[in-house]
Amino acid sequence: MSFLRIDVDKARELIAQNALVIDIRDAQSFASGAMPDAVHLSGDNIESFIQDNDHSRPLIVCCYHGNTSQGAAKYFAERGFEQTFSLDGGYEAWEESTLES
């Protein structure tokens, strides 16, 4: 299994279709702002997230700039998530797009 890289517009589309959003930034950054309904993941809760969530539901992985999320998206795809996406530009791109709206 693999993952796809997507832009903010495609992420919005998938969120509207009930995609799961996970944020892998540090806790302080997540607390300062996150995508709608995003779940903060760390080493402490990753296994329970994998066990407790529907693997057929699209999964969007968000980090700071869209680099680390690629490796994480690959990891989740390998763990059985059927539609896994890495957000290009990360939270920075998401935040920028909401300021432009």
Q: For this structure, is 63 an active site residue? A: yes
How far are the Cα atoms of 2, 31, 48 from residue 26, in angstroms, in the given order?
25, 9, 18
- Round the CA-based radius of gyration of the chain to a whole number and report it: 12
Q: Could you give the CA distance from residue 50 to residue 43 in angstroms, rounded to a whole number?
A: 12
User: 63, 72, 77, 87: which is the annotated catalytic residue?
Assistant: 63
Catalytic residues: 63
